Amino acid sequence: MTLPSLQPTGLWPLQTHDAAADVVALSEVVRHTMQVAAGLAVGGRHIDLAGLDHTVGLLCAKALDLPPAEGRAARAGLVALLTEVDALSLALRTKGP
């Protein structure tokens, strides 16, 4: 199954003037994608994560651009995303052939 595009024209329509809110929103989109992908992997489904690197790169760039106080405010969402990345990694490793 191919996951929907996370390119800026895909599931990322938000581009506010609040950089911290953009980071939080984008981290939620990526976190949700990770949850869906992990669920599919656990269910034995084929997943295609092509293009995800672009979205994660955008998220990283936006997060790095935040002033320290705003970055700390976005930290919880990024930590939650890391948890989902770890869950997807585990699901892919234990999925089997």
Place of tokens 């939620």: 28
40: CB partners within 8 A, 6+ apart: 1, 46, 47
76: CB partners within 8 A, 6+ apart: none
pLDDT tens for the chain, 97 residues: list them: 555 544 444 444 455 678 999 999 999 999 999 999 999 999 989 999 998 999 999 999 999 999 999 999 999 999 999 999 999 999 999 876 6
Q: Is the dihedral of CA 62, 65, 69, 71 positive or negative?
A: positive
Distance separating alpha carbons of residues 75 and 79, to the nearest angstrom: 6
Please state whether the predicted TM-score (pTM) of the whole model is above 0.95.
Answer: no
Place of tokens 């938000």: 14
Residue ranges covered by each domain of the chain: 19-85
